[in-house]
Structure 1
Amino acid sequence: MTGLLVKNYGIKKAAKLSGVSEYTLRAWERRYSIIIPFRSESNRRLYSEYDINKLKLLRKLTERGIQISNLSSLSINDLKGLLNRVDSEIISTDEKYLQLYDIASVDKTINDSLEAIKNFNEKKLLLILHRAYKKSNFLEFVENVLFPVMVKIGYQWKSGLLRIAHEHFTSAVIVKFVLKISSEFEIKNKAPKIVITSPDGQHHDFGAIIGDSLAASEGWKSTYLGVSLSAEDIATAVNQTNSHCIFLSIIYPNDNPRMEAQLLELSKSIHDDVVIIAGGNAVTGYKDILTNINAHIVKTPKHFRDTLKSIRNQIRIDKRENYEKKYL
């Protein structure tokens, strides 16, 4: 325990290790006295490993919707227990998809889509998707139509009712439709920037395309790089575009032995304030390394959208703080 209490980290390093911005660290200290860092002779804030571990727990709990004011009096063990209870109540991605699959079996839109897919009828499938989209917003369309269709296609392929050609056909048509929708979203010149791709060895583009469109629907300026890119290439794009965020689509496989090294290299090759988000069926297979690099793991399209909103709000706060430092 003694080693954990040694004050080793300045505020910039503490922010990178914990995933909590410098501005938020100061605000939590000032308003709630949650973490009171040691002060050096030159009045620099210094944080211990224990402080970092507690900050990580606080970040995860606030990401799950718990107000920081309700956490200020809890010990680190209390925070761990609360996080375990909260996570046990969150439906896993696979369970979410299974529920959508069951619901979809009685939904006319889904069944009509499946009929068009079985016959490789692109025109009919596009018409069905268009009608469904007009009845909802983009997030609802993704969660209630696109994902259930892809899940059901996957199950029918695995059970021998459909061929792999049907799955590829479905993905190609949906990607074409989604890209058309994305082009209609209005993106402002000063919009926050995000790079969207998948790491080397991840060849499925469906999750990345959906992530790209969801980001655009939230007003983000997205740079879509395609799939299966090296850490070096991803970092180059992020740094050259001055992006605030990266979304990594991780769908299959969930046991790539090179993934840990790739993610570590990516984390070290980008600026400290760039946020990494990861989502997809296989993301749980890399949970430890993603947690280690302070990535945000998203489990549903809504979770991804809410995470983008939270990051955007933090960007606004940081800009305001920088302005105040410079001019006030």
Structure 2
Amino acid sequence: MINNIKTTFTIKDLENLSGVKAHTIRIWEKRYDLFCPIRTETNIRVYDLKSLQKLLNVVFLQDYGYKISRIASCTEEEIPEFVRKIVSDKNADNHAINMFKLAMMNFDHSLFINTYNWLAQEKTFRQIFQDVFIPLLEEIGALWQTDTITPAHEHFVSHIIRQKVLLNIHEASVNQPTQLDKVFVLFLPLNEIHDLGLLYLNYEIVNSGYQVIYLGESMPIDNLKDLKNHFSTIVFVSYFTVQPENGEVMEYIAQMAVELLDETNEIWLLGRKVKDVETNLLPERVTVFNALTDLFHKL
């Protein structure tokens, strides 16, 4: 709902968004007059988007080595100017994450795209996704769980990232596959809709020269069996984020093995739900990867 979109924040929200403890923010406010919160009728501090932007810049300058007393002596205009001058490859990722978070809180599409384009001048798409987007999405997940952001914020960012992944998949798909020994079939389990990780795998696998059959979210295992009639060697790849349910993961994997495996096919699995799987109990030709980068080494 548009009425639920946040434009003001509690001090706890600022703590969650910046990583700076609320106690420290209060000290900076009292000792250095860094922020000017609005007070509610019950005397609770409420901060606006400008305060959030300033706090993120202050954190960046602190990480770079500036003392808080030095930062506090700067004017409102000087602080972002200092940030722009000292951004380098070494700390570009953290700065970009802060800018993406600020774009999210403002629903500022231009700021998000400009930050992405700035990163793309020096980084490959793989580097941007792994070094910046993955940490950003992990932070967003934590922010959503603490009610610091609304689902609208999360959807805003996820949609833009999805667009970037799809664009890079399209560019990588221009060339015909060069690796013809196997075909990759990508799908999500029944009732699983979190597809960003799987989409990025699509990009990596296509970029490695393989053919990808992307089937997307909520695919029943039984519907995948027909693919075995079309391709001699298939690697079935799935990403378990919230499905299958706890306690049903091994049973689901066993069903996949019965329905999909033969002498040549394989199953590769990633995601939160498979991190605690006991690998010694997995069926043959089923591999669990703890991280995306582990899978890339198999391509």
TM-score over 0.5 (shorter chain): yes
Residue 244 of structure 1 pairs with residue 234 of structure 2: yes
Across the aligned residues of Structure 1 and Structure 2, the Cα RMSD in angstroms comes to: 2.8
Q: CA deviation at 1:169?
A: 1.9
Q: Does 1:118 align with 2:105?
A: yes
Counterpart of 2:200 (choices 203, 207, 210) is 210
Distance in structure 2 (CA, Å) of the matches to 1:137 and 1:178: 12
Name the counterpart of 2:245.
255
Structure 2: how far apart are the matches of 1:299 and 1:135?
28
1:123-202, aligned counterparts within 5 Å?
A: 123-185=110-172, 186-191=174-179, 192-202=182-192
The AA in structure 2 aligned to 1:177 is K
Percent identity for Structure 1 against Structure 2: 19
CA distance in 1, matches of 2:167, 2:190: 27
Q: 1:243 offset after TM fit, Å?
A: 4.7
CA shift digits 1:102-158 (9 cap, x unpaired):
999981111111111112223432332233234223332221011011011111111
SS at match of 1:194: strand
Structure 1 Cα separation of the partners of residues 241 and 104 of structure 2: 22
* Higher RCO structure, 1 or 2 (CA under 8 Å, sep 6+): 1
Q: Which has the larger radius of gyration?
A: 2
Native 8 Å contact 1:277 1:296 kept in 2? yes
Return the TM-score normalized by structure 2. 0.61
Distance 1:140 1:247, change over 3 A: same
TM-score scaled to structure 1, two decimals?
Answer: 0.56
d(CA) in 2 for partners of 1:106 and 1:218?
25
Is 2:242–2:273's contact at 8 Å kept on the other side of the alignment? Answer: yes
- 1:134–1:236 distance in 2 versus 1, CA, 3 Å: farther
What are the superposed Cα offsets for residues 215-242 of structure 1, whole Å, 9 maximum, x if unpaired? 1222221111111211112333354344
Q: Could you tell me how far apart the structure 1 residues matched to 2:116 and 2:281 are?
A: 34
8 Å CA contact retained: 1:195, 1:238 = no
Give aligned pairs, total: 207
Instruction: Tell me the distance in 2 between the aligned counterparts of 1:215 and 1:150.
Output: 21
Tell me which residue corresponds to 1:39.
none
Listed one character per residue, the Cα deviations across residues 76-109 of structure 1 (whole Å, up to 9, x for unaligned) are xxxxxxxxxxxxxxxxxxxxxxxxxx99998111
User: CA-to-partner distance for each residue in 1:28-60, whole Å, 9 max, x for gaps?
Assistant: xxxxxxxxxxxxxxxxxxxxxxxxxxxxxxxxx
Indicate how the Cα distance of structure 1 residues 105 and 118 shifts in structure 2: closer, same or farther if over 3 A, else same: farther
Structure 2 spans left out of the alignment, 5+ residues:
1-62, 64-89
